Amino acid sequence: MPTVSMTVNGKSVSGEVEGRTLLVDFLRNDLHLTGTHVGCDTSQCGACVVHVDGEAVKACAMFALEAEGAEVGTIEGQANADGSLNVIQQAFQDHHGLQCGFCTPGMVMSAASLLKENPKPTEAEVREYLEGNICRCTGYHNIVKAIMAASGQDLSAIAAE
The residue among 62, 146, 68, 63 whose CA lies nearest residue 103 is: 146
Assess 103 for contact with other proteins (CB under 8 A): yes
Q: How far is the CB of 76 from other proteins (least distance, A)?
A: 4
* From 3, 79, 117, 118, residue interacting with other proteins (rule: CB under 8 A): 79
Per-residue exposure over 129-152, b if at least 16 CB sit within 10 Å of its own CB, e if not:
bbeebbbeebebebbbbbbbbbbe
* Position among 101, 116, 120, 152 found at the interface with other proteins (CB under 8 A): 101
- Indicate the Cα dihedral angle 88, 116, 55, 87, nearest 10°: -10
Instruction: Pick from 4, 6, 31, 144 the residue near other proteins by CB under 8 A.
Output: 144
Query: Which member of 13, 61, 85, 87 binds other proteins (CB under 8 A)?
Result: 85
Rule CB under 8 A: say whether 51 interacts with other proteins: no
Nearer to other proteins, 69 or 160 (CB): 160
Residue type, 62: M
